[in-house]
Structure 1
Amino acid sequence: MDLQKNKVYRCQITDYTADGTGFAKIEGRAVFVPRTAVGDQCDVRIVKVTKNVAFGRVEKIIVPSAQRTAPACPVADKCGGCCYQHITYGEELRAKEKKVRDALTRIGGQDGAKLLGITGAPTTEHYRNKAQYPVGRDKEGSIVTGFYRSRSHDIVPVEKCLIQSETADKIAAVVREWMTEFSVMPYDYEKKRGTIRHIYVRVGEKSGESQLTLISATKKMPKLDVLVERLRAAAPSLTGILLNHNQRDDNVILGDRTDVLWGEPMLEDRLCGHTFLLSPEAFYQVNHAQAERLYACAVDYAGLTGEETVLDLYCGAGTITLALAEHAKTAIGVEIVPEAIENAKRNALRNGMENTEFFCADAGQAAQRLAKRGIDVLVVDPPRKGLDATARDAILKMQPPKVVYVSCDPATLARDVAELCGAGYTLEKAQAFDLFPRTFHVETVVLLSRETNPLTVEVRMEVETGEVKEHPTYKRIQEYVQEKYGFKVHTAYIAEVKRMVGLDMHKAPNAVEQRKHEYHPCPHEKVEAIKDALRHFGLIAE
């Protein structure tokens, strides 16, 4: 029986989705209900029905979950920034650990026991060292700052955010007052006009410094000198006030040019015993205490003895690179953002780390060029989208004995782990870290190791016949298909077909059967092409 839109149903919440939404089964149909907790018994009104799932909103909680708590934030039910303000922190950690484990098993095809647990944060309030407030107007026309409503560009006004620093909130208030007094218009994304797009504040947890970057769509603004004077008076911790010019039509926050209105162009902070200078463009983890724990785990997983050459892809301002350099012979950092690489080079000099090198380049292209250096350990900390195809191919070509993968998205992490394990790597262990309390985001560190080189041809002597047969690698199969059929096949597809025909998979523990629930199965034409390659190499009968 199909669910009816606008009808109210009674149900119990049994799980959370990856974005923190509650999950229930109503008359056999999956229903997603925001702002609910596992164990809630509630009346839910269906607001949308699709072919396979439905979406609802809570009308009444009949029996609240034992893990439910009163949100400390007054706009928790409106703001899209936090999704877990209504449950206990212990329940949040349980949900996040399960999220990582589910991704590794269902998408990655791995043993969930390899995840050793999750490390919770020492505090869930005012932990963020970076705030990017969109600027707009409310219904009365007043200038407001805050955060977007979930799945929209409607700004929910927030003057005091429980996860942002109090310094950032204070600076945003000064800018709002200045804009109101001198008629500085917020940028209207629909009409493509206005001035201030975002207020970007970064604070140094250990240095005590703070930095403001105004993102503007126009070059000229009135009374900037007054703004600078008021900001310095209200926030003595400020060491730099910057103006970033962004006239793009998309939602990218920072433009290409940044001018200094007052003070220093970079913020200073200390992390993992090192001092860092940070430009607005440089990546820096938003939770200082948890970042130190995260990086300590990455260094531990690398297992360095002082003799290794380590490559750190997506190195940002060099935070992980310098932590690795303390224990390695040479640490090489690669980052595509020029400002971040300049920061990284200066940071290495400031900290006396002479065994470091930094290159501004695309991660995949740089990895290909550096393969000949003989990389012992590869560390990757990619953006949310994970490794691109070029980077994955470069890693498989480079074949470092160890890969330490630091991820901010369990789904793309699991996808990449499946690809790497399908090409000869083994997932040794993983650890999750909560760097973003009250949100659905979670960080994970995994260690992958390689026992054999799947890109070299393995030759075995058949005992009974004495015949020497070539046992091809995934790379050889890919090359055969590309040359004969003119298209590429993923290693996951090769693993799928090998399992399909009953070949031994001990060299590539990929558990492809589970991955079929998350990804489309191998297309028929590629199945036949891979089978042809397996016949060509004598792995299956003609």
Structure 2
Amino acid sequence: MSLALDCHHFAAGRCRSCTWLERPYDDQLAAKDEACRGLLAPYLAADASAVWVAPEPSPRGGFRNKAKMVVTGTVEEPVLGIWDPVTGGVDLRDCPLHDRALVAALPTLAAFVTRAGITPYDIAARRGELKHLLVTASPDGELMVRFVLRSTEAVGRIRKHLAWLHSELPAMTVTSVNLQPEPKAVLEGPEEIVLGEAQTLTMRLAEATLHLRPQSFFQTNTAVATALYRRATEWVEEVAPSSLWDLYCGVGGFALHAAAPGRRVTGVEVSVEAVASAQQSAGGSGVEAMFVAADATGYALGAAAEDVPDLVVVNPPRRGIGEDLSCWLETSGVRHVVYSSCNATTLARDLAAMPSLRVRRAQVLDMFPHTTHHEVLTLLERA
């Protein structure tokens, strides 16, 4: 069997998360591009201004900047990987999708579980403490390590042995404990305990420096995220708005890239932690941008008519922006919208609710190689 990326876990049938791994990579990219073209064709601008840009490829492997590891097994022999309800835990410490800094760190973190005596959580019996290890790597190779625990029972032991972990893993700059007491398939809980002075992981991209707090969202593929921000900024500069909103702004990636002298930029994000990260990034870079912790739709619907910006950036979760925000954009008079979507189906649904806004530019970016998932970026212009 020939695979788009060499993976002995897939070949052995232990992990089939990469559902398209048996397809040649060029075929994967072409299929995603064709599917998105088909979904968005009814919404393209009628004149020659509509341009479909060639898709942005991803590195085949080593692209994931975040490892989300289910922890099973025992204290003496922890298993870091995924949970299979039939076979149990599958160890994926050497997953070829992961950034090399993650692959290098995971054996040390497994040894730390043993050293600190943190009992892996038993999903069936609902016993134990350590549910997940969440590890993020920056472009500089620095790491954020988060221990997702059922309770605070192991926090003291983690603190006790933290000096050892720092000595063995000097790239670790941010360490925290997240508490997720519910017996549910939920990755993390609302409470975070930061262990140490460093609060953020620095993500130095080509055109901006972002700061991630433990509960902040960042795109999982740093190379493609960099290309995404660069392309969006090109399209923003093409229409040169004097004011811009970045709705669902996360840690401020689009807003911070699009900020320019004389341009009023406002980022809106419901996560307080993400807004704090964005504010820190703006302050550290000297960028003029304001960030607000609020629901994106509620913020837009509550704005006075005179506050409506020239351009709105939206980067919603897979469910899309929904009927209320789509209708507001349709009637608002906003001239341009940059819509970044990880689900072309919901993007097409939202576009159907905004008939006055037509697709002038579009590009597929392969944020998630070897799967059916993708990112598609569009520039919409009022007809």
Partner of 1:352 in structure 2? Answer: 286
Partner of 1:118 in structure 2? Answer: 55
User: What displacement does 1:110 show?
Assistant: 5.5
Extract structure 1 runs of 4+ deviating beyond 4 A: 108-114, 151-154, 304-307
The answer to whether the aligner puts 1:255 opposite 2:189 as a matched pair is yes
The answer to whether the aligner puts 1:214 opposite 2:150 as a matched pair is no
* Distance in 2 (alpha carbons) for counterparts of 1:124 and 1:448: 31
Partner of 2:301 in structure 1? Answer: 368
Distance 1:266 1:152, change over 3 A: farther
Partner of 1:461 in structure 2? Answer: none
* Distance in 2 (alpha carbons) for counterparts of 1:208 and 1:85: 27
* Distance in 2 (alpha carbons) for counterparts of 1:134 and 1:328: 47
Deviation per residue, 1:11-69 (Å, 9 max, x gap) = xxxxxxxxxxxxxxxxxxxxxxxxxxxxxxxxxxxxxxxxxxxxxxxxxxxxx8xxx54
Partner of 2:357 in structure 1? Answer: 425
Deviation per residue, 1:202-258 (Å, 9 max, x gap) = 1110x3321101111110216324542332233211112111111133322221121
The answer to whether the aligner puts 1:146 opposite 2:81 as a matched pair is yes
User: What displacement does 1:166 show?
Assistant: 2.6
Deviation per residue, 1:346-385 (Å, 9 max, x gap) = 111111112x111111110011123521310011011111
Distance 1:70 1:340, change over 3 A: closer
Letter in 2 for 1:261: L
* Distance in 1 (alpha carbons) for counterparts of 2:92 and 2:342: 26
Check whether the contact 1:306–1:328 (CA below 8 A) recurs between aligned residues. Answer: no
Deviation per residue, 1:488-532 (Å, 9 max, x gap) = xxxxxxxxxxxxxxxxxxxxxxxxxxxxxxxxxxxxxxxxxxxxx
Give the number of the structure whose alpha-carbon radius of gyration is greater.
1
Q: Aligned ranges for residues 303-452 of structure 1 at < 5 Å?
A: 303=237, 308-326=242-260, 329-354=263-288, 356-372=289-305, 373-421=307-355, 424-451=356-383
Letter in 2 for 1:291: A
Match of 2:177, SS state, is strand
Q: Aligned ranges for residues 474-513 of structure 1 at < 5 Å?
A: none
Q: 1:83 aligns with which of 13, 19, 42?
A: 19
* Distance in 2 (alpha carbons) for counterparts of 1:227 and 1:393: 54
User: What displacement does 1:297 show?
Assistant: 1.4
Q: Aligned ranges for residues 166-245 of structure 1 at < 5 Å?
A: 166-180=100-114, 183-205=117-139, 207-221=140-154, 223-225=157-159, 227-245=161-179
Match of 1:145, SS state, is strand
Distance 1:109 1:442, change over 3 A: same
Deviation per residue, 1:88-109 (Å, 9 max, x gap) = 221221122123223324xx66
Distance 1:253 1:370, change over 3 A: same
Match of 1:390, SS state, is helix
Q: 1:163 aligns with which of 79, 86, 97?
A: 97
User: What displacement does 1:71 show?
Assistant: 5.0
Check whether the contact 2:62–2:100 (CA below 8 A) recurs between aligned residues. Answer: yes
**Count of aligned pairs:** 376
TM-score, normalisation: structure 2: 0.89
* Distance in 1 (alpha carbons) for counterparts of 2:57 and 2:345: 20
User: What displacement does 1:146 show?
Assistant: 1.0
* Distance in 2 (alpha carbons) for counterparts of 1:307 and 1:328: 10
Check whether the contact 2:4–2:25 (CA below 8 A) recurs between aligned residues. Answer: no
Match of 2:153, SS state, is coil
* Distance in 1 (alpha carbons) for counterparts of 2:241 and 2:6: 50
User: What displacement does 1:189 show?
Assistant: 3.4
Aligned Cα RMSD in Å?
2.7
User: What displacement does 1:307 show?
Assistant: 5.2
* Distance in 2 (alpha carbons) for counterparts of 1:189 and 1:366: 40
Distance 1:360 1:187, change over 3 A: same
TM-score, normalisation: structure 1: 0.64
5+ residue gaps in structure 2?
none
Letter in 1 for 2:264: T
Check whether the contact 1:384–1:409 (CA below 8 A) recurs between aligned residues. Answer: yes
The answer to whether the aligner puts 1:130 opposite 2:69 as a matched pair is no
Check whether the contact 2:43–2:358 (CA below 8 A) recurs between aligned residues. Answer: no
User: What displacement does 1:440 show?
Assistant: 2.4
The more displaced of 234-243 and 68-77 is 68-77
Letter in 2 for 1:79: C
* Distance in 2 (alpha carbons) for counterparts of 1:360 and 1:229: 35
Match of 1:262, SS state, is coil
Distance 1:307 1:159, change over 3 A: closer
Check whether the contact 2:247–2:315 (CA below 8 A) recurs between aligned residues. Answer: yes
Letter in 1 for 2:227: R
Deviation per residue, 1:440-495 (Å, 9 max, x gap) = 221111111113xxxxxxxxxxxxxxxxxxxxxxxxxxxxxxxxxxxxxxxxxxxx
* Distance in 2 (alpha carbons) for counterparts of 1:371 and 1:448: 22
Check whether the contact 1:147–1:155 (CA below 8 A) recurs between aligned residues. Answer: yes
* Distance in 1 (alpha carbons) for counterparts of 2:165 and 2:61: 24
User: What displacement does 1:181 show?
Assistant: 5.1
The more displaced of 292-301 and 324-333 is 324-333
5+ residue gaps in structure 1?
1-63, 452-542
* Distance in 1 (alpha carbons) for counterparts of 2:45 and 2:72: 47
Distance 1:385 1:190, change over 3 A: farther
Partner of 1:498 in structure 2? Answer: none
